[in-house]
């Protein structure tokens, strides 16, 4: 049975929109854990558009589950990871102009660099995952590089429907089986929501699903009425 990693980047997006102190993603991580989250995921981007360095360090010190730090394979991020010591790091591609991560890491084209980078993280006892598209070549190179995990990019699956989505699902299933045969632990994520998650969760030996946007959107929907009522009560209680 797959576990659930909750990505709280979008909580930080709301905070950074006003450059203020709330909502605090660290506090929301506690709520996610209360709801049953098995790990907390954050992406510390080069431009610090949402999660900040302070968030990463506080989360490591305070959460009760596991911290998954998504980051680009840069020297700056390597130093932060080695200081923070998250439970594991997921290496992702990163472009400044993208709204969210648009595709998987091309491990084949960065073979030697990634071998050294991953080795450096593992020297600090940090397990390392590669966020990749569900292609056999990328999976095999991930094994050669020395990754402990892979996270299969489910964005294409999430965008498709009908027979095209079924075909993409089969590719994810086959990729999971191949990775397992090679000794890699398999996670998956990107674009998963309340309507499409079950088929991915039911894949044999799927370890963890990382989901953020749809959970935060759902929280706004089911929690907004209560928060408005509380504010209305304060205003009208004089």
Q: Point out the residues that are catalytic.
A: 43, 70, 190
Collect all residues with Cβ–Cβ distance below 8 Å to 17 and sequence separation of at least 6. Answer: none
What is the rounded CA–CA span in Å between residue 39 and residue 210? 9
* Residue whose structure tokens are 């506080």: 58
Residue 67's DSSP bridge partners are 40
CA dist., res. 192 & res. 214, Å (int): 7
Q: Which of 150, 89, 76, 151 is nearest to 119 (CA)?
A: 89
d(CA 125, CA 119): 10
* Among candidate residues 49, 36, 47, the one with its CA nearest the CA of residue 6: 36
Main-chain dihedrals φ then ψ at residue 7, nearest 5 degrees: -90, 125
- The torsion angles phi and psi of 147, rounded to 5 degrees, stand at -65, 145
- How many other β-carbons are positioned within 10 Å of the β-carbon of residue 94? 19
CA distances from 234 to 187, 222, 228, 230 (A): 44, 20, 10, 6
């Amino acid at each position: 049975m797959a576990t659930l990693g909750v990505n709280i980047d979008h909580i930080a997006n709301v905070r950074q929109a006003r450059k203020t102190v709330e909502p605090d993603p660290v506090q929301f991580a506690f709520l996610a854990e209360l709801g049953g989250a098995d790990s907390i995921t954050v992406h510390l981007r080069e431009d610090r558009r949402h999660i900040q360095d302070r968030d990463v360090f506080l989360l490591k010190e305070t959460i009760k589950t596991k911290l998954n730090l998504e980051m680009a394979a840069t020297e700056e991020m390597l130093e932060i990871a080695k200081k923070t010591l998250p439970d594991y790091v997921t290496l992702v591609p990163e472009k400044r102009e993208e709204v969210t991560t648009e595709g998987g890491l091309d491990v084949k084209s960065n073979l030697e660099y990634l071998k050294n980078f991953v080795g450096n993280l593992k020297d600090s006892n940090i397990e390392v995952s590669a966020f990749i598209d569900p292609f056999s070549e990328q999976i095999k190179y991930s094994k050669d590089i020395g990754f402990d995990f892979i996270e299969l990019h489910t964005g294409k699956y999430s965008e498709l429907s009908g027979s095209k989505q079924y075909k993409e699902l089969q590719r994810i299933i086959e990729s999971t089986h191949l990775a397992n045969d090679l000794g890699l632990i398999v996670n998956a994520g990107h674009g998963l929501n309340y309507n499409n998650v079950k088929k991915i969760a039911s894949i044999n030996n799927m370890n963890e699903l990382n989901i953020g946007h749809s959970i935060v959107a759902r929280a706004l929907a089911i929690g907004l009425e209560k928060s408005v009522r509380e504010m209305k009560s304060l205003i009208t209680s004089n």
